[in-house]
Amino acid sequence: MISLRGVRKTYASPAGPIEAVAGVSVDIAEGEFVSILGPSGCGKSTLLMMLAGLENITAGSITIAGQPMVGPRRDAGLVFQDATLLPWLSALDNVLFPIKMMRLPREKYVARAEELLHSVGLGDFMEKRPRELSGGMRQRVALCRSLVHTPSIMLMDEPFSALDAITRDEMALVLLDLWARHRKTGIFITHSIREAVLLSDRVLVMTKRPAVVVADVKIPFARPRDESVQDSPEFTAIVARLRGMIEHSIKVAA
């Protein structure tokens, strides 16, 4: 579904070029959920923006469903660390905002938007403005917004990082449930190893800038997945193995 070949990104800066991504080659299958872990500033967001078509690629290529990347993609849903909701719109209208931007007929999408909000527990909050919602609720709205136009790919850049620990754990379960219902191809950036293991089919580990992928670990737990997998010794073992890989990749690069 998604194929990256020798993808590089160099930013120009007054102090000279900054190589953010140094050559990433990865294949991601349709319906696969892949998390990316790596140290801060290693180029994860840059990679995601290139996948969304919002940042150009310096060298190498990205093809999605056989099509080379040329510009912003409509078939991708994006979720960022900040919910970026429009304060003057209700939760429902925020979810429907991409439909408006794409000039699609609103009436065809209202039922879907409502169903999405129900499924994340916001059935009673559809008419609320963002300021009347908690941080976790706002991020749920952002998740619904990313899915409203039935994208085939979901790109998520640390969507739960700004939340408190308890809300964050709750949101991982909301996403696990959304995934079981909507099954997209997903790329998820996080700094939480546990979150990555709970949610993913595969976890990629990136090195310090300029980034390359140093590990590609399959997560064996069956789907639909239950939160109880987190209590298994196998889960703990995979988390420990990934932590070791991340520590090693930081040392090697230092």
Binding site for ligand ATP (CB under 6 A): 11, 13, 18, 20, 38, 40-46, 209
Residue 22 vs 120, nearer CB to ligand ATP: 22
209 binding partner (options Mg ion, ligand ATP, none; Cβ < 5 to 8 Å by kind): ligand ATP
Contact by Cβ (8 Å): 177, 144: no
Contact by Cβ (8 Å): 171, 198: no
Closest distance to ligand ATP from the beta carbon of 40 (Å) = 4
Closest distance to ligand ATP from the beta carbon of 186 (Å) = 17
CA atoms of 40 and 157, how far apart (whole Å):
12
Closest distance to ligand ATP from the beta carbon of 49 (Å) = 8
Residue 75 vs 82, nearer CB to Mg ion: 82
CA 233: distance to chain centroid?
Answer: 27
CA atoms of 214 and 248, how far apart (whole Å):
10
42 binding partner (options ligand ATP, Mg ion, none; Cβ < 5 to 8 Å by kind): ligand ATP
Closest distance to Mg ion from the beta carbon of 110 (Å) = 33
Question: Closest-CB residue for Mg ion?
Answer: 45
Q: Which helix (H) or strand (E) is 67 found in, with range? A: strand 67-68
At 210, list the tokens.
């300029």
13 binding partner (options Mg ion, ligand ATP, none; Cβ < 5 to 8 Å by kind): ligand ATP
Residue 79 vs 148, nearer CB to ligand ATP: 79
Tell me how many residues contact Mg ion (CB under 5 A). Answer: 1
Residue 122 makes CB contacts below 8 A (sequence gap 6+) with 91, 137, 140, 141, 144
Residue 133 vs 189, nearer CB to ligand ATP: 189
The Cβ-side half-sphere exposure at 74, using a 13 Å CA radius, reads 8
Residue 93 vs 158, nearer CB to ligand ATP: 158
Residue 122 vs 211, nearer CB to Mg ion: 211
In the stretch 35-74, what mask flags binding to Mg ion with x, by CB under 5 A?
----------x-----------------------------
Closest distance to ligand ATP from the beta carbon of 41 (Å) = 4
Comparing CA positions, the residue from 195, 204, 190 lying closest to residue 169 is 195
Phi then psi dihedrals of residue 232, to 5 deg: -80, 150
Alpha helix segments (H runs only) across the chain: 44-51, 91-95, 97-101, 110-119, 135-147, 165-182, 193-199, 233-253
Positions in the binding site for Mg ion (CB under 5 A): 45
